[in-house]
Structure 1
Amino acid sequence: MQPIRVLIVDDHALFAEALAARLGREPDLVILPVAPDGRRALALAATEGPDVIVLDMTLAVENGLDVLDQVRERHPDVRVVVLTAMSDLDAMVQALRRGAIGWLSKTESADLVAQVIRSAARRGGWIPPEMLGDVLRRLLDDRPEPGGGGQVLAELTPREREVLQCMVDGLNRAEIAARLGLSANTVRTHTQNLLAKLDMHSALEAITLAMRAGMRPSMRPGHAD
């Protein structure tokens, strides 16, 4: 596998450098120079080609959400994981709506941060389990349905709908591949295609939209074809 290129955006120099040094010991992670602000982050994103950006929400002179918006606009393929001392539900929901695919507290272990970075690079995500229910309820309650959820889902192919159903069922990519008798690469392609059609930035957003359109966990075992 290709090494995962990671850009840390944090103005707390001691914390950021300590995290960079710790993650740098992971054989599959390449840690780029730390960015203390959004301007430097965008410059490094343009020249260094990170796969994953680890972004603090409380930068000294900028709102982390604004930096997130700029990253998503200029580098839509880069995966953004929030790593912050904040535990605010509203900020978390806003970050997820605006394209972040993970949210971690700075109190979490470096081992978990590394795991979430790997998941992000594979187009997975992570939310603190104790907050997942509240986040999903907020997304389901507040997110407008562009054009109507059912109408948007109607644009998916039958196979893409099967993949989305598996995502609603809580399966990861390997489990989806096993259920549908597909390769992991094919599942990744279908996932990318359905996210593009739904105009979603993350699997969580796609699952939320699917549930608003009436799709529910099926929990059916076995494979489909």
Structure 2
Amino acid sequence: MDKIKVMLVEDDPFWQRTLAEDLAGEPDLAVTHIASAKEEACSLLEQAAVDVVLMDINLTENRLDGLEAAREIKLRSGRDVKVIMLTSLQEKEIIVRSFQNGAHNYITKASYKDIVQAIRDAHAGRPALHPDAVPALVQEIQLSQLTPSERELYEMREKGYTRSQISSTLNKSINTIKTQLRSIREKLVNDKRD
């Protein structure tokens, strides 16, 4: 049986070692390459046959370059390489951007024990979203119903702006803000805020 070839893209030596050792214990997986930077990963992928990439998001000083690397891998790879984000970050925007950049799945390092099954699912082409990513994606789908103006207002409310502050910032009347908030509530049936 051919093993699933996995590349680790991780700058932390602890996680490189831990993941490589854990995956080496699986009979159907082989860690074929370990890269610690975006450029190194993209270069290796041009030369090597890899099935699944485990990608950390912050490879260099919190610059989110793992997101860029995922996008480049999906654009430059002639093969159907699956990218699984494996990171400690849990911000909704980063999760959504990961999928927009071509990620097949998103798992936090707190849930790293689930990575083996995620690799197998990705390699088999089975769509499987890890529970770490689901809330952010569900919310993003719900928010996609909003107009750009409503989205801006929604995000201001989430940041704690009052109606008066929103009215002043957006140069809209309080009545317009109330109407838009009502429209947002109708579109987002789960959001009870007014």
TM-score by length of 2: 0.67
Counterpart in the other structure of 2:84? 81
Counterpart in the other structure of 1:66? 68
CA deviation string 1:66-106 (max 9, x = no partner):
11111111115100000000011111011112210100111
Task: Quote the Cα distance in structure 2 between the aligned partners of 1:82 and 1:109.
Answer: 11
**Any idea what SS the aligned residue of 1:127 has?**
coil
Structure 1 unaligned spans of 5+: 144-225
Q: Is the 8 A contact 1:53 1:81 kept in 2?
A: yes
Q: Is the 8 A contact 2:86 2:107 kept in 1?
A: yes
Q: Is the 8 A contact 1:116 1:125 kept in 2?
A: no
Which protein shows a greater Rg? 2
Amino acid at match of 1:87: Q
Counterpart in the other structure of 2:99? 96
Task: Quote the Cα distance in structure 2 between the aligned partners of 1:17 and 1:104.
Answer: 18
Runs of 4+ with deviation above 6 angstroms:
none
Q: How does 1:5-44 map to 2 (within 5 A)?
A: 5-44=5-44
**Any idea what SS the aligned residue of 2:94 has?**
helix
CA 1:130–1:101 in structure 2 vs 1: closer, same or farther (change >3 Å)? closer
Q: Is the 8 A contact 1:104 1:128 kept in 2?
A: yes
Task: Quote the Cα distance in structure 2 between the aligned partners of 1:19 and 1:130.
Answer: 19
Matched length: 143
Q: Indicate which of 107, 113, 116 corresponds to 2:110.
A: 107
Shift of 1:47: 1.8
Q: Is the 8 A contact 2:106 2:133 kept in 1?
A: no
Q: How does 1:1-225 map to 2 (within 5 A)?
A: 1-60=1-60, 63-75=65-77, 77-110=80-113, 112-129=114-131, 131-139=133-141, 141-142=143-144
Identical residues among aligned pairs (%) = 25
CA 1:130–1:12 in structure 2 vs 1: closer, same or farther (change >3 Å)? closer
CA deviation string 1:10-61 (max 9, x = no partner):
0001211221111011110011121001111112212221100000011115
TM-score by length of 1: 0.58
Task: Quote the Cα distance in structure 2 between the aligned partners of 1:113 and 1:136.
Answer: 22
Amino acid at match of 1:92: I
